[in-house]
Structures are given as C-alpha cells and as structure tokens.
Amino acid sequence: MTDALKEEQLNIPLAPSCHVKYYECLPSTNETAKEFAANGAEEGTVIVANHQTAGRGRLGRNFFSPDSGLYFSIVLRPSLNIEESLLITTAAAVAVCRAIETVTKQTALIKWVNDIFVNNKKVCGILCESSLKAGTNQLEYAILGIGINVTTPKDGFPAEISKIAGTLTEETENNIKNELFTEIITEFFSIYTTLTKKEFLPEYNRRMLLIGKTVSVCTAQGEKEVKVLGIDSNFGLKVQFADGSVSTLSSGEVTIGSNTMSQ
Ligand code: BTN
C-alpha cells in the first residue's frame, strides 16, 4: 500500500493565508497553479496532486510522477525582478532539505541549483516558473513546483533515471507525505518572509553536494571539467577550470554533468 496524502491533513500549514487545493491526478501542478495565478489566485494558493501525467522538469524535461511521490506547486506574488527569482528556487531547496532531515532524519544535500540528493541519489526536483508584469522585468507571479520521490514506484523507476533517482523511505504505512508537505511549506515561508536578505545563503552553500569535487559542466561552448568552489552572493556557481582560471556560472547557462535529468 502506498503512503497516501490525506486531504484533511493538508490544510494545516503554519504559513499565514496558505490554502491548499488537492487533486488525485493532474497533468502538472505547475500548469494548474499557473491557471489559478493567471485568474487572480492569491499568494499562498497551493496545488497538490497525488500523481501527475505530464510533470515538468527544468529545461523542458519530463518529471516522472507516479503516486509514490509528492507533487505540489505554490502561487507566489513576490516583489522581485526576474534576476532575483532564483532566490525562490534556492530558498525552496534549503526548505526541502530541512524538511527531509526533520521528517526522515537523513542528511539532504543540494546539487546546484535545484536538485536535492539523499544518499547520493536525487530525491527531489524544484521548478520555479515566472510571469512578468507587462513591459517590466518585475514578477507578476511565480509558481514554485516541488516534486519528491517518497517511496519506490510500484513498477520501479524508468531505466533512464533508475541510476540517479532515489527515495526517502520504503515504509509505506506511514504519514510521511503529509508530514513532509507541512514541513516544507512551513520552512519555505519562514525563509520567504525575508527572502532578499539572503540569510539562507550560507546554509545553501554548506549543503552543496559537489563542493571541492571535479565535475563536468555543459555550457553553450560544450562540456568542460571544472572544480566546484561554491556559490557567490547571487547563487552563481564559482568554478575553477583546468588552466586555473576562476569563473562564476549562472544557472541559466549550465547544467552539471549528464545526470541532471529530470524524472
Ligand atoms: C527538475 O528536476 O528538473 C524539476 C522538477 C520539478 C517537478 C515538480 S513536481 C510538481 C511541479 N509540477 C510540475 O509539473 N513540475 C513541478
């Protein structure tokens, strides 16, 4: 039996004016949240689905979303410009790590910029999509989508992600989805209230999976070997190339390695 989301337990987040709309199945919670936002839904509207048929990942990839996972999207209306919107993704990454550690007692780390790893396997992906106010670079709204592999899917993971995808537990008779959901929402909104102060940046840096490691990055110029040094004050990735030169890469420009595929 799969751990179930319990609709009556979803409306307990501590965040002010957060209200939850639960669906058994949606193509994509990000898509539905976007429709709500475009129709005026207020900040804190959360769309949750027990599974998705067309879950979306970064870079146009699919996100494998069977009912063994947790999938939700939050409507946000922050006073941010598009350059600052990365703060939402990075704050969510820290919030998810904290929640996983509280609920499962396992260490959770961040693979820059939006993947969460436990035991060297990807257990969560984050996708933030924004809409701008006409003629400006100010956000009209942002949709923060979070997908977590909670337990192993009944038919396993598809071959193309089976090496990279991990899960949080094999105990299916517990309340972990509801606990994770509440913890993530609570942790996220506690960071979100002072988002632009970037007080969570040191924690993000501390939680980085690849610090000190040599990895390959895919840039517009092709694949390159770099040593990961950390993040800068704008969450750019500080790296050192083989010739010793140091550079900061932005998340729009690069992905790390070949195993960043979505699920
Ligand atoms: C990634 O790993 O590239 C990001 C994956 C984000 C998946 C979540 S699941 C909830 C929300 N709805 C979607 O369609 N995508 C996000």
40 three-class SS: coil
Tokens for 80?
């941010």
Q: What is the pLDDT along the chain (263 residues), one digit of tens a residue?
A: 346 676 666 655 555 568 899 999 999 999 999 999 999 999 999 999 999 999 999 888 999 999 999 999 999 999 999 999 999 999 999 999 999 999 999 999 999 999 999 999 999 999 999 999 999 999 999 999 999 999 999 999 999 999 999 999 988 777 899 999 999 999 999 999 999 999 999 999 999 998 999 988 887 778 888 999 999 999 999 999 999 999 999 876 566 764 433 44
110 three-class SS: strand
Residue 101 φ then ψ, to 5°: -65, -40
Q: Closest Cα to atom 16, ligand 1: which residue?
A: 145
How many other CB atoms are found less than 10 A from the CB of residue 12?
13
Q: How many angstroms is it from 246 CA to the middle of ligand 1?
A: 32
Q: Is the CB of 147 under 6 A from ligand 1?
A: yes
Which residue from 21, 22, 23, 30 has its CB within 8 A of the most atoms of ligand 1, so it is best to mutate? 30
Q: What share of the chain is helix, strand, coil (3-state, %, to 5)?
A: 25, 35, 40
**Long-range contacts at 6-10 (CB < 8 A, ≥ 24 apart):** 6/175, 6/178, 9/175, 9/178, 9/182, 10/48, 10/178, 10/181
* Model confidence, pTM: 0.93
Q: How many angstroms is it from 218 CA to the middle of ligand 1?
A: 21
Contact indicator for 177, 68 with CB cutoff of 8 Å = no
Q: Is the CB of 145 under 6 A from ligand 1?
A: yes
Predicted confidence at residue 257, as pLDDT, reads 66
Predicted confidence at residue 10, as pLDDT, reads 61
Q: For 177-204, give the DSSP string.
A: HHHHHHHHHHHHHHHHTTGGGTTTHHHH
Predicted confidence at residue 9, as pLDDT, reads 61
Q: Closest Cα to atom 9, ligand 1: which residue?
A: 147
Predicted confidence at residue 27, as pLDDT, reads 98
Q: DSSP letter at 208?
A: B
Q: How many angstroms is it from 142 CA to the middle of ligand 1?
A: 14
Predicted confidence at residue 59, as pLDDT, reads 85
Predicted confidence at residue 1, as pLDDT, reads 37
Q: Is the CB of 58 under 6 A from ligand 1?
A: yes
